[in-house]
Structure 1
């Protein structure tokens, strides 16, 4: 039953988030469709690899494969935004309150706690990732409201740093908790086994890169706003 509910929630989170992000970008309809199709294909690839057990910690290429799937969207986005002004403008053109509010989906991190209760995740990984996501998700809408009013800039910085750090720590703990992996350091029950297979593998391979990109864009928007404020005071 938990897998059934998780599949519905995760697929909904991915579809809604992709459509919301492309809809918020100041780009043409054709470009919006292209981005949505590309994101959909990437999600399909991640799901296919998980279905073929390519992310299993016991597989020699498991850690490398899941690491590549997480890293490639981040690298591609960073390179594209660095060399293309239109790409950079489309990312920075999304409203900051919207990007913050999108993190409300992170409340679904509660699934990590439930999976740990069922013995399908072990060690510090599910509790760090679960509670970190829950805190980020619960605070997302209040922080977005402050950002919309142009208030609480320090709180926005703090929330964004916490949200990004939560994802980085979760990835690290997940990798070093994978049973059978050459990178395993933490040996605790099931480790990160549940997130190596569907539907839970969609979290590290699709949602985590997406939210890391969102956090990076928010940081850049905050930095640009600070630079603009300093320039206006001169």
Structure 2
């Protein structure tokens, strides 16, 4: 039952977030469609690889495959933004309150705690990832509201830093607690095994890169705002 509910929530989070992000970008309709299709294909690829058990820590190619799926969107976005003014303008053109509020979906991190309660995750990974996401999600709307009123620059810096570090810590704990992985340091029951399989594998391979990109854009907008502020 938990997997069934999780599938519905995660697919909804991906579809809504992709459409919201492309809709918020100041780009043409054809570019919006192309970006949405590309994101959809990437999600399909992530699901297909997980279905073939290519993310498992016990699979010799599991760690590099899932690592590539996490890193590639981040690298591609960073490179595109650095070499293309139009890409950079499109990313920075999204409203700050919208980008913050999009993290409301991080409340789904509560699933990590439920999976741990069922004995399907172990070690520090579910506690760190679960509570970190829940806290980020709970604070998203209040911080977005303050940002909309132009009253929350220090708070946005703090919230955004916490939200990004939560994702980085979750990835780190997930990697070093993956049973069978050559990078495993923590040996704690099931470790991070559940997120190496569907539907939960969609979190590290699709949602985590997307939210890391969102946090990066927020930091860029905050820095841009600081540069424009009167000294």
Fold in common (TM above 0.5): yes
- Alpha-carbon shift at residue 90 of structure 1 (Å): 0.3
Match of 2:12 in 1: 12
Aligned residues: 231
Residues 58-105 of structure 1, C-alpha deviation per residue, up to 9 Å, x if partnerless? 011111111100000000000000000000000000000000000000
Q: How many angstroms apart in 1 are the aligned matches of 2:56 and 2:44?
A: 18
1:103 match: secondary structure: helix
Residues 37-77 of structure 1, C-alpha deviation per residue, up to 9 Å, x if partnerless? 00000000000000000000001111111110000000000
Match of 2:148 in 1: 148
Task: Please list every run of 5 or more consecutive structure 2 residues that lacks an aligned counterpart in the other structure.
Answer: none
Q: How many angstroms apart in 2 are the aligned matches of 1:23 and 1:95?
A: 11
Q: How many angstroms apart in 1 are the aligned matches of 2:216 and 2:5?
A: 30
Q: How many angstroms apart in 1 are the aligned matches of 2:215 and 2:54?
A: 28
1:187 match: secondary structure: coil
Match of 2:165 in 1: 165
Q: How many angstroms apart in 1 are the aligned matches of 2:61 and 2:158?
A: 36
Report runs of 4+ in structure 1 exceeding 4 Å deviation. Answer: none
Are 2:88 and 1:88 equivalent residues in the alignment?
yes
Q: How many angstroms apart in 1 are the aligned matches of 2:14 and 2:112?
A: 17
Match of 1:122 in 2: 122
CA RMSD of superposed structures (Å): 0.5
Q: How many angstroms apart in 1 are the aligned matches of 2:194 and 2:130?
A: 13
- Alpha-carbon shift at residue 152 of structure 1 (Å): 1.7
Q: How many angstroms apart in 2 are the aligned matches of 1:187 and 1:107?
A: 27
Q: Return the TM-score normalized by structure 2.
A: 0.99
Match of 2:190 in 1: 190
- Alpha-carbon shift at residue 3 of structure 1 (Å): 0.2
- Alpha-carbon shift at residue 123 of structure 1 (Å): 0.2
Match of 2:60 in 1: 60
